[in-house]
Amino acid sequence: MSGYDTEKIQSLIGGHMDRPMVAVETGILLGDTTRKMSGMFRHVISIDIATGIVEAATTALADLKNVELILGDSAQVVPELAKSIHEPVLWYLDAHWFPGANISRENPFPLWDELDAIAARTYPDIVMVDDVHAFGRDDWGCDHPAGVVERWGELSEEAIVTRLGRVVKSLIAMDKVVCYLDDLPQPHNHIRE
């Protein structure tokens, strides 16, 4: 993930009504963001679909007791986490597909599935979607998995806000769309059409 500046992220989180103590990150890469988040949150869960990345991060982050690494497809893991975590969460989502990663997956653009699962929660979460600079790009210079270019054409701050539905504030900062979600009354009776 690109550009995780701890002080700036802290300032974006600090003004929200319930500061999340749990962070969920999609896309581990080198583990740098995961390491920085571990100093800010009680528990950090980081998901990646690439076995080699998770193995390398397991070694690199072994000293961090509050970090949990999950090997899996975020389109499937995020909905599971969204149902099982019962407190506000910072969702730090990687928006783009990495060309040349040689990763086979049914859904090469998991962001919509991730956002739908988060939208169904009842907590005042914060959602950060990384890589605004890449929204809508179709110039990766290599073959794309089916549907990626079309979905990139749909990606924007407005589309993310619409998908989440219960956004009380959104902004673009540090190459991220940041959405602050309203909490919904318990028990959760929200029906998504």
The confidence score (pLDDT) of residue 132 equals: 85
- Helix and strand numbers (H, E) in the chain are 7, 7
Confidence category of residue 191, pLDDT binned at 50, 70, 90:
very low
- Express each pLDDT in 132-180 by its tens digit: 887 776 665 555 555 555 566 678 899 999 999 999 999 999 889 999 9
> Which pTM value belongs to this model?
0.85
Calpha distance 2→132 (Å, rounded)? 10
Three-state secondary-structure class, residue 166: coil
Confidence category of residue 29, pLDDT binned at 50, 70, 90:
confident
List for the chain the helix, strand, coil content (%; round to 5): 35, 20, 45
Highest mean pLDDT among 27-31, 59-63, 105-109, 140-144: 59-63
Calpha distance 158→169 (Å, rounded)? 12
Which CATH entry fits the domain spanning 6-181: 3.90.1150.10, 3.30.1330.10, 3.90.1170.20, 3.40.50.150? 3.40.50.150
- Express each pLDDT in 42-82 by its tens digit: 999 999 999 999 999 999 999 999 999 999 999 999 999 99
Q: When comparing pLDDT for 193 and 179, which is higher?
A: 179
